[in-house]
Structures are given as C-alpha cells and as structure tokens.
Amino acid sequence: MSVKKVFNFRLIGVSPRDAALFASYVRVLDFRLEHKWQYQDNDAHLIIYGSPSTQTQSVEIQDEFVHALCFSASETGDKFLRLPLNSAEIEAALNRIGNLINLRQDQQNTSAINPEQSYRLKRWPPAGLLNTSDRIRFATLLTKRVLSVSKLHMHTGLALEKCRLFVEELLSNDLLEEVAAEDEKSPDPQSKRIEQDKGISRSGLISLIRSNLSRFAK
C-alpha cells in the first residue's frame, strides 16, 4: 500500500461552526481521499476563506501557486465550496487540488517541461485558471503567438518559475499543444476563435461583477 502525500490547509474568516464541520469532514473522508490533509496555521498548500469577500479583504501574503477555496451559499465552480457543506464536494475538491499539487511536484522533480518547447493555446482558459492579472496577461500573449516558457519569461519579465507553473497547469487541463520549431511562424487558425472565446469570457465576467455590485447597492 502506497503512502499518501501530506498536504496542509488553513482557514481564514471561517465561522467556528463551519471550521469545525469542515475539519470533521476531512477526518471522516481521510480513508477515501487520495492524499492526507492536515490543518496548519501557515505555509499551507490550500487556503479556505469563509466567503469571497473575506478573500478580497484578506491581506495575507500568498505564494502565487497556493490554492484557494471560498465557502459560498450561491457561487459554484472550482474556486468555491457550497454551503451547507457537502462531503462529496469536499472530497472532489481536495482530490482535484491534491492532484494538481502532486503533478506540479512531480514535474519539478523530473524537469518534465523543456523551457524551450513552444506551445499553442487551443482555447481560452476558464476563469478559474485566470485568477491573477499575470495569468490573464500570459493567456493573452498565447492567443497572439506561439511561445515557450522561456519566451513567456522574456516577454513579461516575470519569474521563470511562475511562467513554467502556469504552462504546467494549462497542459494538465489540455489547453496547450506542442508546436515544432518549423511551425512556430505559421499562421494560427485558432487565434480568431480564441479571441472570440476571450470576448465571451470577459463579457460574462463583467456581468458577474455588475451583479455583485448591485447586491451591495441594495
């Protein structure tokens, strides 16, 4: 029997009742989870917020690649856990995040990604992967040209590791395809469609922001 990897989570702005309930679910689900999850006050792999507003207001300094989840009674998607808490959703979320962390660690250990390998974006990434302005910038660059990790680093001036980890996550979600050196300058027939997808995605994001603002205005 293989030994489970241990990952840590912490809670910010979570009510004592929800915190106790979540911790209880984690203990009960331990035998079914693909990795072992433990509470830790700092240096956690996963930060769980009591609501989207507590995440926005938090001044915690986070590593770019620490994962985050928010408790929410209305929001759905990979970045949220619905209230009241559901054991199946908690299990799915912890397994998904644990597998992403595990994939990243394995790729770091084996140097799976060649920083000079060029990639073409297949389609505009979902909003859940574009949770920072840097990531939106990366994705926008990839809609316009074929790029490698090294070239992303060169064009943005951001840390090479940050560029590499974003490319890894796009690869794990089947959003990139490798491009041979001789094909790098060829026209990309998908770029127009990706730009259309990006426009639709931004339109939906603006609608969501307006909807949230209207709730506060009432």
Which CATH number goes with the domain that contains 51?
3.40.50.2300
Q: What pLDDT, in 10s, does the model give residues 17-52?
A: 999 999 999 999 999 999 999 999 888 899 999 998
Same domain, residue pair 95 and 128: no
pLDDT top residue among 64 and 69: 69
Bridge partners, 37 (sequence order): 7
Q: What is the helix (H) or strand (E) element at residue 215, kind and residue range?
A: helix 191-217
Q: Would you say residue 188 lies in a domain?
A: yes
Same domain, residue pair 16 and 86: yes
pLDDT of residue 128: 79
Q: Would you say residue 217 lies in a domain?
A: no
Q: Would you say residue 212 lies in a domain?
A: no
Q: Using a pLDDT cut of 70, give the percent of the chain over it.
A: 75
Phi, psi angles (nearest 5°) of residue 215: -65, -40
Same domain, residue pair 140 and 168: yes
Q: Would you say residue 102 lies in a domain?
A: yes
Instruction: Of 68, 105, 72, give the one whose Cα is nearest residue 86.
Output: 72
Which structural domain, as residue segments, surrounds residue 137? 118-207
Q: What pLDDT, in 10s, does the model give residues 96-125?
A: 999 988 887 766 655 567 889 999 999 998
Q: Would you say residue 59 lies in a domain?
A: yes
Same domain, residue pair 142 and 124: yes
- Alpha helices, DSSP H only, in 4-51? 16-29
Burial 182-193 (b: 16+ CB within 10 A, else e): eeeeeebeeeee
Q: Select from 57, 91, 110 the last residue of a domain.
A: 110
List all residues 6 or more positions away from 149 whose beta carbon is below 8 Å from its beta carbon.
113, 115, 116, 117, 160, 163, 164, 167
Q: Select from 55, 89, 110 the last residue of a domain.
A: 110
Q: Select from 110, 131, 161 the last residue of a domain.
A: 110
Q: Report the alpha-carbon distance of residue 50 to residue 196 in Å, rounded.
A: 35
Q: Would you say residue 131 lies in a domain?
A: yes
Q: Would you say residue 137 lies in a domain?
A: yes
Q: Report the alpha-carbon distance of residue 198 to residue 5 in Å, rounded.
A: 37
Same domain, residue pair 128 and 99: no
Same domain, residue pair 85 and 125: no
Q: What six digits make up the tokens of 137? A: 């910038």
Bridge partners, 8 (sequence order): 38
DSSP code for 77: S
Q: What is the helix (H) or strand (E) element at residue 74, kind and residue range?
A: none
Same domain, residue pair 82 and 148: no
Q: Report the alpha-carbon distance of residue 54 to residue 70 in Å, rounded.
A: 9
The beta-strand segments (E) located in 16-155 are 36-39, 46-49, 67-72, 80-82, 118-121, 147-148
pTM for this model (two decimals): 0.52
Q: What six digits make up the tokens of 10? A: 């912490």
Same domain, residue pair 27 and 85: yes
Bridge partners, 70 (sequence order): 49, 80
Q: How many domains are there within the chain? A: 2
Same domain, residue pair 131 and 166: yes
How many CB atoms sit inside 10 A of residue 9's CB? Answer: 20
